[in-house]
């Protein structure tokens, strides 16, 4: 992952990732949402030139295991081995910070990274999809001990998130917010903030469509 970060500036990464979401992931998600699946999507890009190898979206209507990430991984490994790049040469992009299932699936597949646009907190409180944090809290007890103490101290919701290692020898997890923060020129940073906000607005509309289709108020 560090090689990709060294090779590409935050703006080059954001350009490629935003284009991938807009052109590859979002159209697939819009169709899947209309058919009754959720709006989460993912893609695999080459670290070297940031070209898209494969992009796909949640297929939960077919199986509850096919989240955007797990479905994308399954489809990627359906490509004959001699026709796809090794995972160590690839970036894993996910629209939403991966749930416990998907985070493990990304690592078990051999990726050393993922980059996400929405955080767990946004998934929970903005999209009102509670599975990710509920599983972490109910099964992995992340609300216990230090996190609960902190949350009660400063009254923040952010403290209930799982404390997985964002930087380790196994994994580099990077958010769009971090990429945006790494842009040093303020004018450029503001342009990219607007660019990401535009994508987020289009996901807001998708979320409304999903809720309408599912009969959720």
Q: Name the one range near Zn ion by CB under 5 A: 25-33, 45-53, 95-103, 191-199.
A: 95-103
Estimate the crossing angle of helix 131-139 against helix 100-108, to 10 degrees: 90
Q: According to CB under 5 A, which one of 17, 99, 172, 183 is a site residue for Zn ion?
A: 99
Stretch that binds Zn ion, among 97-105, 108-116, 176-184, 201-209 (CB under 5 A): 97-105
Instruction: Tell the smallest beta-carbon distance from residue 170 to Zn ion (Å).
Output: 19
Closer of 130 and 149 to Zn ion (Cβ) = 130
CB of 102 to Zn ion, least distance (A): 3
* Distances, alpha carbon 52 to alpha carbons 10, 80, 134, 165, 195, in Å: 17, 16, 32, 26, 19
> C-alpha 122: how far from its chain's center?
11
The gap between the terminal CA atoms of the chain, to the nearest Å, is: 41
Nearest distance in Å: CB 98, Zn ion: 5
> Binding to Zn ion by residue 103, rule CB under 5 A?
no
Query: Measured from the CB atom, is 60 or 89 closer to Zn ion?
Result: 60
* Angstrom distance (rounded) from CA 68 to CA 73: 9
Alpha-carbon radius of gyration of the chain:
17
Given candidates 25, 102, 173, 174, which one binds Zn ion under the rule CB under 5 A?
A: 102
CB 209, min distance to Zn ion, A: 20
Instruction: Determine if 195 is a binding residue for Zn ion (CB under 5 A).
Output: no
- Is 124 among the residues that bind Zn ion (CB under 5 A)? no
Site for Zn ion, residues 15 to 74, rule: CB under 5 A: 67
User: From the centroid of its chain, how far is CA 78?
Assistant: 21
Strands 172-175 and 113-118: parallel
Sign of CA dihedral 156, 136, 207, 189: positive
Give burial (CB, 10 Å; 0-12/13-18/19+) of 143: middle
The structure tokens listed for 105 are 């699936």
- For residue 105, state whether it binds Zn ion (rule: CB under 5 A): no
At its nearest, how many Å lie between Zn ion and the CB of residue 127?
13
The nearer residue to Zn ion, 102 or 115, going by C-beta atoms, is 102
Q: Which two tokens stand for residue 3?
A: 């090689």
- How many residues bind Zn ion (CB under 5 A)? The answer is 4
Binding status of residue 87 toward Zn ion by CB under 5 A: no
Q: Which residues bind Zn ion (CB under 5 A)?
A: 67, 99, 101-102
């Amino acid at each position: 992952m560090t090689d990709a970060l060294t090779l590409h500036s935050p703006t080059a990464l954001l350009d490629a990732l935003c284009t991938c979401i807009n052109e590859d992931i979002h159209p697939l998600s819009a169709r899947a949402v209309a058919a009754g699946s959720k709006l989460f999507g993912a893609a695999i890009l080459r670290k070297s030139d940031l070209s898209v190898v494969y992009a796909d979206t949640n297929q939960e209507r077919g199986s509850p295991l096919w989240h955007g990430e797990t479905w994308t991984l399954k489809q990627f490994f359906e490509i004959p081995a001699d026709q796809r790049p090794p995972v160590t040469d690839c970036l894993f992009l996910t629209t939403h910070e991966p749930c416990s299932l998907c985070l493990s699936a990304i690592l078990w597949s051999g990726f050393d990274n993922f980059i996400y646009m929405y955080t767990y907190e946004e998934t929970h409180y903005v999209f009102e999809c509670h599975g990710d944090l509920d599983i972490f809290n109910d099964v992995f007890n992340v609300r216990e001990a230090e996190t609960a103490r902190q949350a009660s101290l400063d009254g923040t919701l952010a403290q209930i998130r799982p404390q997985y290692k964002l930087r380790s020898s196994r994994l580099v997890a990077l958010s769009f917010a971090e990429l945006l923060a790494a842009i040093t020129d303020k004018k450029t940073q503001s342009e990219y903030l607007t660019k990401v906000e535009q994508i987020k607005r289009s996901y807001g509309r998708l979320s409304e469509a999903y809720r309408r289709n599912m009969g959720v108020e």
